[in-house]
Structure 1
Amino acid sequence: MDLAAISGDIERVIVTEEALQARIKELAAQVDKDYEGKDLLLVGVLKGAVMAVADLSRALQRHVEMDWMAVSSYGSGTKSSGVVRILKDLDRDITGRNVLIVEDIVDSGLTLSWLKSNLESRGVGSVEILSILRKPEAAKVHVDVKYVGFEIPPDFVIGYGLDFDEKYRNLPFIAVLAKHMYS
């Protein structure tokens, strides 16, 4: 799907496909350097991180294992209760492993903070976070994100794994969704 097909649905593109791919390569080079000589398990957070994990893993110059988790922070309406439940857990034991959580976006930080603590409680060697996007203005709790692709304003964004009503995930860029689409 290209920009012309959805031009009425978006306000503006904030990260182009070219910028995304260039930044993924830079992040992969840093991850390769930081984990040289160490094992590495990428843990993608479903569904939004699928694109990021795929592109990052292909950009890495090393063997890498992948696993997936799906977590949900639920409550009433659009507000999170802060209670997180695991919808899909890891398929393997991570005791002693170096885990890199790969996330599409850090917004409030509540779910990601919980996820990091949960994985640390399983006896891992280390847990770090890589997020393609971070909204510093939206943070409710501090989450130490070691690798950040882009810091963005607190707009509602779509593309590159991010969705609205399960649509737009397959866009190769990141755009601000037009307010008329969700208000």
Structure 2
Amino acid sequence: MKLKKPLILITLILLLAAGGLAYLSLRPLEIRLQQGVVLQALAPHFPLDQELLPGLLRLSVDVSQIKLEAESNRVLAGLSGAITAAGRPYPGSAQLSFGLEYEPQSHQLFLTHPRVESFAFAALPAIWSQSAIQYLLPLLQNRIERVAVYQLPQDTSFQLFARRTLKDLRIEQEQIVLTFGI
């Protein structure tokens, strides 16, 4: 009888531990990323100072703000700077947007598919404006088509709980939310 009590107690403790581990490994894991993470990822690519048409058209811009847009599930990057056309600078701004893509093989989140959402440079003649827009999108696609924003930790216990299967990727409350589960 004395041997049964400790055996029952040990069995009960082991069952509780196994149940707790099962609960932790089966529940979804949520990672939330702030705007600063995106800004930090874009930092190596800006300021952008690029000649669009040699000797005629030059673009010099830097990221002035980042906004995480829940409605479109896209990251907006406000740019400010100047376009120099035929030697004359025209100050202004542009807004880019990026999609989000998770790559399971590398366990990374990327900014992808850049788009020019708005382009406003004061008093820039229409001919130069059209040329700048025409050259800007291919430039962006070549320079910042896939910007790594976040990589899952390589810690083995994290991998056990996350199971590395992305269940949901969305933007809410000014945060990028990644939900992992089984």
TM-score (norm 2): 0.34
Whichever of the two has the greater Rg, that structure is 2
Q: Which structure shows the bigger proportion of residues in strand conformation? A: 2
Q: Which structure shows the bigger proportion of residues in helix conformation? A: 2
TM-score (norm 1): 0.34
